[in-house]
Amino acid sequence: MERVPVLKIGDILLVSIQVDMSDQTAVTLQEDLAERIVATGCHGVIIDITALDIVDSFVGRMLSTIASISRVLDAETVVVGMRPAVAITLVELGLSLNGIRTALNVERGMELIAAARADEWVLTDGDEDAETTATT
Amino acid sequence: MALSAEESGRLARLLSEHADRLTQRWTERVGASLRGRLSQAEFARQVQELHRSMIDATRNGLTELSAEQGGELRAVLAELSRGRARQGFTATETAISVFAVKDVLLELMEESPDAGTLRDFVAFSALIDQMGLFTFESFVRTRESLIADQAEQLLELSTPVVKIWEGVVAVPLVGTLDSARAQVVMERLLQTLVDTGSPYAIIDITGVPAVDTQVAQHILKTVVAARLMGADCIISGIRPQIAQTIVALGIEFGDIATKASLADALRHVLRLTGVDSARRHQRRES
């Protein structure tokens, strides 16, 4: 059975889908990813679908599920590299993949996750400052 | 059947015996109908070519223009009408170039009348009528293909995607947006987003004369598709009347940013991308 590799780059897990997604592959990917997020403690997941010619409703749902799972585990999911033809087909089918962040390419996806993380850091920084001023 | 094999042979003889006089008279008549919009040499050549292929066809026993022997004659006629259609002549002017030969034939036949002359002339006329009709059909076909070509060119011309800033592309829509154009615009915009790696797109509808529910639907689809690919769309150039129509029709743009002008849209995008750096610059200056 084909397996989709999950690569760890810094604080981000990169999933590059290079094979045709069968139902079994999709289910295995969900399980693998959940395990890896917990094991590595990463806070970002990038799913690269540049190589996917066809995204049907099942794959669409899989992407949504992965995003939900990651959110529960405190990781941000970004789907990157969707082809124009795929996007047009999804729109015509009425699937708008609600709740999924998207970016044009892996680089932009990493920026997006970094920006989302930076926002959180700014918030925590602010809190710490408030605490220090309160204690002094 | 337009004419019998014997009549066809007689026509061939008539055409070849008086070749020079016939082409000369024919050329004169064609020249009169075209009123100097085509050079003398040009239509004289056309008439000669037509004359020669008519002789060839009738010598081979042509009985019907659609028959096998008429292949070359049909090609010559089609070529003639294609040229005329492209040069902007009317259908009548094109058809007269063929029908003129009737008068010339009548002149020639009246010089030596006998019992069969009338019958022959009627038969010849039938063939020439077929030729005229064929010319007309080719003419119309050429015109139709011209119109189709122009529609396609218009489609390409009217949907440019321009890069207006680093990471920002704009689509100035001009003209009525129908399904076919919306499809082209969508495909081209999405492809440009991929090619340039731009995360922002501005759809400017200043040049769209009217926005109805269908046009709005097309624009919304484009925006959703761009979002799926990871790019954000801003709609700009909404004129006052169009804003009123949009509200009256109850069209919801949801969380899609809409701006009155392209400049506003660009400023909005720059604020989204460059606000931090701009502030830092200001601080450094102060």
pLDDT tens digits, residue range A5-14? 899 998 899 9
User: What's the structural domain count of chain A?
Assistant: 1
Position A136 scores a pLDDT of 47
Q: B43 and B142: one domain?
A: yes
Alpha-carbon separation of residue B65 from B1, B45, B60, B106 (angstroms): 9, 22, 12, 20
pLDDT at A122 over 80: no
> Would you call B224 an interface residue with chain A, using a CB distance cutoff of 8 Å?
yes
Q: What are the tokens at B95?
A: 């058809």
* C-alpha B236: how far from chain center: 32
CB contacts of B221 in chain A (<8 Å) are 91-92
Digitized pLDDT (tens) for each residue of chain B, 286 residues in all: 667 888 888 888 888 888 888 888 888 888 877 776 777 888 888 888 888 888 888 888 777 888 888 888 888 888 888 888 888 888 888 888 888 888 888 888 888 777 788 888 888 888 888 888 999 999 999 989 989 998 888 777 767 888 888 889 999 988 888 888 888 888 889 999 988 888 899 999 888 888 888 888 888 889 999 998 889 999 998 888 888 888 888 888 888 888 988 999 999 999 888 755 555 555 555 5
Q: B181 and B225: one domain?
A: yes
Whether the predicted interface score ipTM is above 0.90: no
Q: Which of B115, B135, B155 lies at the terminal end of a domain, its last residue?
A: B155
Give the residue carrying structure tokens 């076909």: B141
> Would you call A65 an interface residue with chain B, using a CB distance cutoff of 8 Å?
no
Q: Which domain holds residue A46?
A: 6-135
- Among chain B residues, the shortest Cα distance to A49 is held by B229
Instruction: Tell me, yes or no, whether A38 lies in a domain.
Output: yes
Collect all residues with Cβ–Cβ distance below 8 Å to B226 and sequence separation of at least 6.
A87, B189, B190, B193, B201, B232, B233
Tens of pLDDT, residue by residue over A44-71, are 999 999 988 888 888 888 888 888 888 8
| Dist CA A103 CA A110 (whole Å) | 9
Q: B167 and B278: one domain?
A: yes
Position A123 scores a pLDDT of 64
**Quick one: chain A helix, strand, coil %, rounded to 5?**
55, 15, 30
Backbone angles phi, psi at A101, to 5 degrees: -80, 145
* A73-93 average pLDDT score: 89
Q: B217 and B86: one domain?
A: no
Q: B9 and B147: one domain?
A: yes
Q: B135 and B168: one domain?
A: no
- Mutant choice from B191, B219, B223, B228 vs A, greatest count of A C-beta within 10 A: B228
Q: B122 and B196: one domain?
A: no
Pseudo-torsion of CA B38, B41, B42, B44, nearest 10°?
100
| Dist CA A102 CA A37 (whole Å) | 19
Position A46 scores a pLDDT of 93
Q: B113 and B204: one domain?
A: no
Instruction: Tell me, yes or no, whether A1 lies in a domain.
Output: no
**Which of A79, A87, A108 lies closest to B199 in CB terms?**
A108
Q: Which of B139, B155, B171 lies at the terminal end of a domain, its last residue?
A: B155
Number of residues that make up chain A? 136
Q: What are the tokens at B6?
A: 């014997």
- pTM exceeds 0.80, yes or no: no
> Would you call A72 an interface residue with chain B, using a CB distance cutoff of 8 Å?
no
User: What's the structural domain count of chain B?
Assistant: 2
DSSP B103-164: HHHHHHHHHS--TTHHHHHHHHHHHHHHHHHHHHHHHHHHHHHHHHHHHHHHHHHT---EEE
Q: B206 and B260: one domain?
A: yes
| Dist CA B223 CA B200 (whole Å) | 11
Q: Which domain holds residue B54?
A: 5-155
| Dist CA A117 CA A122 (whole Å) | 9
DSSP A20-60: PPPHHHHHHHHHHHHHHHHHH--SEEEEE-TT-S---HHHH
Binary contact (A90, B228; C-beta < 8 A): yes
Tell which wins on pLDDT, A88 or B65.
A88
Instruction: Tell me, yes or no, whether A120 lies in a domain.
Output: yes
The CATH number covering residue B260 comes to: 3.30.750.24
The CATH number covering residue A112 comes to: 3.30.750.24
- Mutant choice from A88, A97, A108 vs B, greatest count of B C-beta within 10 A: A88
> Would you call B228 an interface residue with chain A, using a CB distance cutoff of 8 Å?
yes
Binary contact (A84, B197; C-beta < 8 A): no
∠ CA(B205), CA(B206), CA(B207), 5° rounding?
A: 90
Binary contact (B194, A84; C-beta < 8 A): yes
- Mutant choice from B192, B229, B272 vs A, greatest count of A C-beta within 10 A: B229
Going by DSSP bridges, is the β-strand pair B162-165/A101-103 parallel, antiparallel, or unpaired?
A: unpaired
Q: Which of B124, B155, B186 lies at the terminal end of a domain, its last residue?
A: B155
Instruction: Tell me, yes or no, whether A29 lies in a domain.
Output: yes
Tens of pLDDT, residue by residue over A26-39, are 889 989 999 999 99
> Would you call B149 an interface residue with chain A, using a CB distance cutoff of 8 Å?
no
Q: B67 and B145: one domain?
A: yes
How many other C-beta atoms lie within 10 A of the C-beta of residue A136?
5
Q: Which helix (H) or strand (E) holds B206?
A: strand B200-207
How many other C-beta atoms lie within 10 A of the C-beta of residue B90?
11
CB contacts of B226 in chain A (<8 Å) are 87
For residue B62, the 8-state DSSP code is -
CB contacts of B190 in chain A (<8 Å) are 84, 87-88
pLDDT at A133 over 70: no
Position A55 scores a pLDDT of 83
Instruction: Tell me, yes or no, whether A52 lies in a domain.
Output: yes
Tell me if A29 sits within 8 A of A62, measured CB to CB. yes
Instruction: Tell me, yes or no, whether A11 lies in a domain.
Output: yes
Q: B150 and B184: one domain?
A: no
Binary contact (B187, A79; C-beta < 8 A): no
